[in-house]
Amino acid sequence: MRNTKPTILYFGSFNPVHIGHLAIANYIVEFTEADSVWFIVTPQNPLKTSKGLLPDHHRVAMLQQTVQGDTRFRVLDFEKLLPKPNYTINSLQYLQRQYPEKTFKLLVGGDNLAVFGQWYKIETILKDFGIWVYGRPGFDAVLPEGATLIQGPQLEISGTFIREALVQNKNIQYWMPNGVYEYLYENKLLEALIYLSENENSGI
């Protein structure tokens, strides 16, 4: 029998994980009917460049370190094993085959809804799974059928902000979960993030 409480799938690069990611996930499990959030670390978004990404295993390790011991959350990196490009529908169908008892919902940021129409097989995603849209300031888009709007607290922070702050030599350890800044430092990834940020929009 399928569990009627949905498991929310939070796809992202998490490059690196920051407190905004955790705040959203925490709101979902505490203030909605969902009882868990699974973080899906994406190797490559088909609509974005890969030039600014840290290696997959580091992004996964930082997330695992962040949520370890919290049974509400889980980290998965199976997309690296699936055929490329990493279309979300393929990942959703893979998970449903692996966990037929689960009811999955896809979490989408309000800002990403603007490009949702470019996704592969969006009609199938909406019909077979459905999406939860986490609202953003000024969000006024019309929700497609099969979408639910989640109006939680807003925290304007992004991976882009983190990387740009590092380029400016800012100490932003409190914008990341405990241990993530130290992980970046100990694994010499601060320098890598700075380099990637400086060049992710260039031709290299």
Q: Is residue 132 part of a domain?
A: yes
Lowest-confidence range among 121-130, 136-145, 149-158?
A: 136-145
pLDDT of residue 22: 95
Q: What domain range includes position 76?
A: 7-157
Q: What is the mean pLDDT of the chain?
A: 86
Residue 80 in domain: yes
The model's confidence at residue 198, banded by pLDDT at 50, 70 and 90, is low
> Residue 50 has what pLDDT?
52
CATH number for the domain spanning 90: value is: 3.40.50.620
pLDDT exceeds cutoff 50 at 125: yes
- Answer yes or no: is 47 within a domain: yes
pLDDT of residue 160: 82
Confirm whether 79 is domain-assigned: yes
- pLDDT for the residue numbered 204: 28
In sequence order, the 6+-apart residues with CB closer than 8 A to the CB of 24 are 10, 107, 134, 152, 155
Does any domain span residue 112?
yes
| Residue 15, in any domain of the structure | yes
Q: Give me the pLDDT at residue 179, please.
A: 92
**Cα 162 to Cα 173: distance, rounded to the nearest angstrom:** 10
pLDDT digits 0-9 by tens, 46-58: 545 455 688 999 9
Is residue 202 in some structural domain? Answer: no
Q: How many domains does the chain have?
A: 1
pLDDT band at 201 (very low <50, low <70, confident <90, very high): very low
Instruction: With respect to residue 184, please indicate whether it lies within any of the assigned structural domains.
Output: no
Per-residue pLDDT of 62-85, as tens digits, reads: 999 999 999 999 999 999 899 888
DSSP symbols for the chain: ---SSPEEEEEE--TT--HHHHHHHHHHHHHSS--EEEEEE-S--TTS-STTPPPHHHHHHHHHHHHTT-TTEEEE-GGGGSPSS--HHHHHHHHHHH-TT--EEEEEETTGGGGGGGSTTHHHHHHHT-EEEE--TT--PPPPTTEEEE--------HHHHHHHHHTT---GGGS-TTHHHHHHHTTHHHHHHHHHHHTTS--
Residue 132 C-beta-side C-alpha neighbours within 13 Å: 24
pTM, two decimals, is 0.89
C-beta separation of 17 from 66 below 8 A = yes
Q: What is the pLDDT of residues 178-191, one digit of tens each?
A: 999 999 989 988 88
> What is the residue-wise DSSP string for 121-148?
THHHHHHHT-EEEE--TT--PPPPTTEE
pLDDT reading at 21 higher than 70: yes
